[in-house]
C-alpha cells in the first residue's frame, strides 16, 4: 500500500513536467478563425480527414513540383464559412487573410477559393513530391495553381482568417 502511495505521489510530481515537455515539442498548426461558425485548429494529422488534392507548379528553382494537400475551400467549409450556394450577396465582400509564422500576410477574395467561380485550385499543402515540406517552407504552405508569382504561395502558414471588407 505504502509503495502504491509513493508511486502515486511520484507520478503526481512528474505529471506537470510531462505536460511541460509536451509544450516544448508543440506541434505546428493552422488556426482558422474570423467570420466562421466553428473556429478550427488544424494539425498535420487532421489533414487526412479531407480529400487529398494535388497541384503541380514551378518553384523558385524553375522546376515543376507536385504539391499535395487539401483544398482550402474544404477546410473553410468545415469551419462553416459561406461557400458554394451561400457565396453571394454581401458574402462576396469577404476575404481570406493568411498569415505565416514570420508575420508575412497575403489576401485572397473568398470567391477566389470557390469551385463555382474558378477551376484554379488553391490548396493547403503539406507534401512536396511525396515528402513532407522542408521545415523552412512547412509544415503548411498555400499553393496557388498557375499563379505566375509565387508571392501568395505563402510558407509556414499559421493562421487563416475570414473577414468582411469594411
Partner 1 sequence: MNNKKRRILRFYYRSKKRWSKSYAIFILIILTVGLSGWSLFADTDAIETGPYKFIYPANFGNRISVPDDNPTTKQGVYLGRTLFYEKKLSATNTISCASCHKQERAFTDDKAFSKGIDNVPTSRNAMSLTNLLWTRKFFWDGRSASLEEQAVFPLTNLHEMGQSLDNSAQKLRNTPQYPALFKLVYGDDAITGDRIIKAIAQFERTLISCNSRYDQYLKNTYQPTERELKGMALFMTGPDPEKGIRGANCVHCHGGTKNYMEFFHNNGLDSIPADAGIESITGLSSDRGRFKAPTLRNIALTAPYMHDGRFETLEQVVDHYSEHIKQSPSLSTFLIGESNERGGTSLKLRPEEKKELIAFLNMLTDSTFITDKRFSDPNKLTTNCKLTTK
On the 0-12 / 13-18 / 19+ scale of CB atoms within 10 A, 160 is buried
Shortest Cβ distance from residue 52 to partner 1 (Å)? 24
- Based on DSSP, count helices (H) and strands (E) in the chain, helices before strands: 2, 10
Nearer to partner 1, 112 or 137 (CB): 137
Spell out, one character per residue from 109 to 148, where the chain touches partner 1: x when CB under 8 A holds, - when not.
--------------------------xxx-----------
Taking CA 36 as the corner, what is the angle to CA 96 and CA 115, rounded to the nearest 5 degrees? Answer: 55
Based on the shown chain and the rule CB under 8 A, indicate whether residue 24 belongs to the binding site for partner 1: yes
Q: Is 103 in the site for partner 1 (CB under 8 A)?
A: yes
Q: Which of 23, 37, 48, 90 binds partner 1 (CB under 8 A)?
A: 23
Nearest to 107 by CA among 40, 28, 31, 164: 164
CB of 120 to partner 1, least distance (A): 25
Q: Is residue 153 classed as helix, strand or coil in its secondary structure? A: coil
Q: Does 31 contact partner 1 by CB under 8 A?
A: no
Angle, CA 83 vertex, CA 74 and CA 143 arms, to 5°:
45
Q: Does 149 bind partner 1 (CB under 8 A)?
A: no
Distant-in-sequence, close-in-space partners of 82: CB < 8 Å, separation ≥ 6: 91, 94, 110
CB 10, min distance to partner 1, A: 26
104 binds partner 1 (CB under 8 A): yes
| Residues forming the site for partner 1 (CB under 8 A) | 23-26, 28, 101-104, 135-137, 155-156
Amino acid at each position: 500500500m505504502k509503495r502504491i502511495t509513493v508511486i502515486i505521489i511520484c507520478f503526481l510530481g512528474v505529471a506537470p513536467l510531462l505536460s511541460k515537455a509536451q509544450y516544448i515539442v508543440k506541434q505546428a498548426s493552422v488556426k482558422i478563425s474570423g467570420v466562421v461558425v466553428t473556429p478550427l485548429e488544424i494539425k498535420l494529422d487532421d489533414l487526412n480527414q479531407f480529400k487529398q488534392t494535388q497541384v503541380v507548379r514551378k518553384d523558385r528553382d524553375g522546376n515543376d513540383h507536385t504539391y499535395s494537400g487539401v483544398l482550402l475551400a474544404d477546410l473553410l467549409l468545415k469551419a462553416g464559412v459561406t461557400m458554394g450556394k451561400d457565396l453571394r450577396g454581401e458574402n462576396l465582400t469577404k476575404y481570406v487573410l493568411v498569415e505565416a509564422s514570420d508575420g508575412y500576410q497575403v489576401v485572397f477574395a473568398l470567391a477566389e477559393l470557390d469551385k463555382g467561380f474558378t477551376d484554379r485550385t488553391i490548396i493547403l499543402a503539406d507534401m512536396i513530391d511525396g515528402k513532407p515540406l522542408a521545415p523552412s517552407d512547412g509544415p503548411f504552405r498555400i499553393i496557388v495553381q498557375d499563379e505566375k508569382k509565387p508571392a501568395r504561395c505563402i510558407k509556414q502558414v499559421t493562421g487563416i482568417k475570414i473577414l468582411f471588407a469594411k
